[in-house]
Amino acid sequence: MDITDLISSDAIIPTLRAPSKKQALQELARKASELTGIESREIFDVLLERERLGTTGVGHGIAIPHGKLAKLDRLYGVFARMEQPIDFDSIDDEPVDLLFLLLAPESAGADHLKALARVSRLLRDRTVCNKLRGCESRDAIYALFTDTTASHAA
């Protein structure tokens, strides 16, 4: 599974302005709603429910909020680069500036876990993250995802 199977260029928010975790999740849900046709409130509620189980702030400025929705027919990803890092209750207590939202159908099972592992593996690469932090445009971010997909395949 490639990152480009999960995300399209219109699923990228190159400069997300949100002062808090809650507002960042609301903006991600709004963008995901445009892509999936599912109400943003329904997506937001699933994300909040998942955050109550434990933070999706995985450390090093990265968060991978995720959830499952019955109405989805496939996996969807949304990537956002924060204009200013925000507190995300991350496991390392560091603020977050890179977010990769992953939504899956309730029936996804192993595919959901594979996608989470794929995103996590990519975002563990500090070189990739530094390049993402330096990208100013949607096209540049998408090109980076396209380029790194080939080099991180495995």
The rounded distance, in Å, linking the Cα atoms of 148 and 132 is 11
Buried/exposed code over 64-86 (b: 16+ C-beta within 10 A; e: otherwise): bbbbbbeebeebbbbbbbbeeeb
- Specify the length of the chain in residues: 154
Give the residue numbers marked as catalytic: 66
